[in-house]
Amino acid sequence: MPKGPTKRRPQTTARLLQAAQETFAERGFHGSSIEVICERAGLTRGAFYSNFRAKEDLFFALFDLHAQRVVDRLTHAVDELDTAEDPVRTVLTHMGTVDETERRWYLLSTEFTLHAIRHPDTARALADHDRRLREEIVRVLALLFDRIGRRPTVDLDLLARLTAAVHEGSLAQSLVEPDRLAPEQLAVTFLPALLETVSEPVATEG
């Protein structure tokens, strides 16, 4: 039979993550102290340190939650590939989906990336989390090429990096000028031609 603290740990972690997400959104990563996050969660510093070592660990836990949302969207897109009239547009549209949660995450992740660039150990940890998410994007790209009957002629990891860069850069411009540029517009407009350029038709038998 699990002891009380063990059974309560998931709820405590969830409260801390929710409080961190809200506090980061309001104050930014550097402007959010552990004390304020704990106060918002209705928990003590002891509860925090029994779940996380530092504020950075909170960010990475939120990163994993965000990554799972991205993977879920991409998985849904993959499920639609067999019936989609335009598979490329289907995937790119799902990748470009932006709601308020995505907007808040972009602001936080951009600030944290700058923080990581200044701190090599943090940068390595961020790169590892990025790599795991990128592996899922590579999987989707491979399925997409197979669906449209083409074979990639470039490294899919590099292509995943490029598509992520287009998404993030487009999102930044869209947040600055929401009336001029939709979040997915650049990807949907230009990436289909790029995907064709970096691939070749799969030879059919006979």
Classify 1-52 by CATH class: mainly alpha
Candidate from 12-16, 30-34, 115-119, 183-187 with smallest mean pLDDT: 183-187
Classify 54-201 by CATH class: mainly alpha
The three-state secondary structure class of 54 is coil
Which contiguous run of DSSP H or E holds residue 152?
A: strand 150-152
| Dihedral sign computed on CA atoms, order 101, 107, 109, 110 | positive
CB 61 within 8 A of CB 160: no
Asked if residue 4 has pLDDT above 80, the reply is no
Query: Over pLDDT 90: what percentage of the chain?
Result: 61
Task: For CATH 1.10.10.60, list the domain ranges present in the chain.
Answer: 1-52
**pLDDT attached to residue 6:** 58
The three-state secondary structure class of 42 is coil
Q: In this predicted model, what pLDDT tens digit does every residue of 67-97 receive, in sequence order?
A: 998 888 888 887 887 787 888 887 887 776 7
CB 19 within 8 A of CB 29: no
Task: For CATH 1.10.357, list the domain ranges present in the chain.
Answer: 54-201
Asked if residue 2 has pLDDT above 50, the reply is no
